[in-house]
Amino acid sequence: MRALVRSPFVAALAGGAVVAVALLALGVSGADHTTTTVIQQAAMSNGAGGATLALTARDIYDRDAPGVVYVRAGAVAQTTSTLGRQQADPQGATTGTGFVIDDEGHILTNHHVVGDAKTVNVRFGDETTVKARVLGQDETNDLALLKVDPASVALHPLTLGDSSDCRVGDPVIAIGNPLGLDRTLTTGVVSALQRQLRAPNGFTIQHVIQTDTAINPGNSGGPLLDSNGRVIGINSQIATTGSGGGAGIAFAIPINTAKTQLEELKRTGSVRHSYVGITGVTIDERLGSLRLGARRGVLVQAVHPGSPAAAAGLRGGTIESQVDGETLMLRGDVLTSIDGETLRSMEQLTTEVADRQPGAQIKLGVLRAGASMQLTLTLGVAPKQLPDQTAAP
């Protein structure tokens, strides 16, 4: 699959925990407790009707900042993701942000903030630091659910909003711990919707919110808030230029994704995702001269051994070719539809698969050596890590 965030911008995990080493080499230390707050005094517009709300950025900060926490995961094993290697502070810990979601002591953050840690330290606004248990993780969506003893600290749960209500241009606020600076506030707008990002395990995060709100290492896992102070996203990644400079582009996992996973994370500690098991590329104008027999669809590059795609009889390419400097495998199957709906891109296929449960059956329209056919495929359970670290559903 082609890069989801293209040159000259490269997506990087936004936490102090994980960044692309060659692109963003900023150290984050939990030792600096200085509070830096950037506050926009004017009232914010709600975007939906254009009406002015009573809440200012200061109001939202005063109400919600106590529910934002500093997360420090000590002695996290170094792991490599598609976006870089985890970086530790001088004490060997990774750091980031989280936020309280209920009175029971549950806290949401990013998977890449806590890594494989079983317990982490969580520091609240009153400087109280307590141990938190890592209750569950969904690496495919870069989510982690923590649990603290509700009797050990004063909790200030944030209100979870509805990310499906987001519109481009809506004002948003981020509160987090960039570069170790506690509970810093920045403002911006929703810049785009329905982005796709590479998760730490190689799979694709769907329905991502793009914003121009200033996000830096240490913001990872923190809340992206709407003009009513409701959480609509979890800040996760940033885009940087090839020289390492900031691009003013940040990405947040939609809160609706987290809400749909919460009960499974609490119950089982993990989340099952659907899996096909192919590497593919969108057929576009660039590939029009290759005589693939279709002007749109997905060209199957490879079929992962033992995958549902292999069981269904899908075939990958057998001949290597260079197209615009990219190596492609030709003579593979061309996927033209899914459940009767025309298939136009790899991104569409990825989204369709993600919206279905493991065990569900899908019907794929397939073009093979000029002949059309239909194949029925039963979706499997995605492995913990994408087998070949290329984007595939």
Show contacts of 165-169: CB within 8 Å, 24+ apart: 165/48, 165/226, 165/232, 166/190, 166/193, 166/209, 166/226, 166/232, 166/254, 167/47, 167/48, 167/193, 168/192, 168/193, 169/47
The answer to whether 112 is a known catalytic residue is yes
Give the list of residues 6+ apart from residue 246 with CB closer than 8 angstroms, or none: 216, 238, 240
Burial class (CB in 10 A: 0-12, 13-18, 19+), 272: middle
Helix, strand, or coil here: 287?
helix
Please give the span between the terminal C-alpha atoms of the chain, in angstroms, as a whole number. 10
What are the CA-CA distances from residue 49 to residues 46, 58, 133, 167, 192 (Å)? 7, 22, 42, 11, 19
C-beta of residue 219 within 8 angstroms of C-beta of residue 178: yes
Considering only CA atoms, which of 113, 89, 87 is closest in space to residue 99? Answer: 113
Q: Give the Cβ contact number of residue 19 at 10 Å.
A: 28
Separation of alpha carbons 186 and 215, rounded Å: 8
Residue in this structure with the two tokens 């870089």, named with its chain if needed: 84
The verdict on whether 7 is a catalytic residue reads no
Q: Are 140 and 256 in contact (CB under 8 A)?
A: no
Nearest-angstrom CA–CA distance, 31 and 180: 7
- Among residues 106, 111, 112, 304, the one annotated as catalytic is 112
Hunting for tokens 């630091």 — which residue is that? 129
Active site residue 103: no
| Residue of 64, 89, 138, 142 marked catalytic | 142
* Catalytic residue selected from 163, 191, 220, 227: 220
Q: Residue 218 to residues 60, 129, 133, 318, 378: CA-CA distances in angstroms?
A: 20, 17, 20, 44, 40
Catalytic machinery residues = 112, 142, 220
